[in-house]
Homo-oligomer: A and B are copies of this chain.
């Protein structure tokens, strides 16, 4: 059975939320998905007040990487069809919530900070989503070397059909 060995995996790591997302989205149906989806929603990363010192100097970065938990998703599927294509792909080649470890990643633009609250643009998480980590976005992949696999192909097919 797929994932059986994985589930019996002896080593386990425990993660605790460092805060919550304050988002305009109450339900996944409200979140833009699929090809060309724009993530322009604004919201807050509400970091726990006792961790506020960890945000020192974060204000100088324009973009942050937010790691969070798909806490309203259960189980995982190794192969599935994402909203951006009509063909199935491996879970590690997609951003599907149904992953072996349900960790989401979003790059947001930092608009401002009010103590332990970070005002950001680019929210695609549900309201109340637990945040595991925030990291500065430091560098891009050289654009001439970036290949986007099935996603580029799906975009091409969508364009050809338009």
A residues touching B (Cβ–Cβ < 8 Å)? 2-7, 9, 11-18, 47-51, 53-63, 65, 67, 69, 71, 78-79, 88-95, 99-103, 105, 107, 109, 130, 132-141, 143, 145-153
Contact = CB atoms under 8 A, between A and B. Distances in A.
Contacts of A49: 5
A63 B142 CA distance: 10
Main secondary structure of the interface of A (DSSP, over half): mixed
A149 B101 contact: no
Contact of A51 (B65, B78, B93): B78
A12 B13 contact: no
Given A9-B16, A54-B92, A60-B147, 5 more contacts: A55-B90, A55-B93, A59-B149, A95-B135, A100-B133
A152 to B, nearest CB: 8
A81 to B, nearest CB: 11
B56 A90 contact: yes
6 contacts: A2-B51, A2-B53, A15-B101, A54-B100, A55-B92, A94-B136
The 10 closest A-B CB pairs, nearest first, are A60-B149, A56-B90, A62-B147, A140-B140, A53-B78, A9-B16, A61-B149, A58-B93, A54-B78, A92-B134
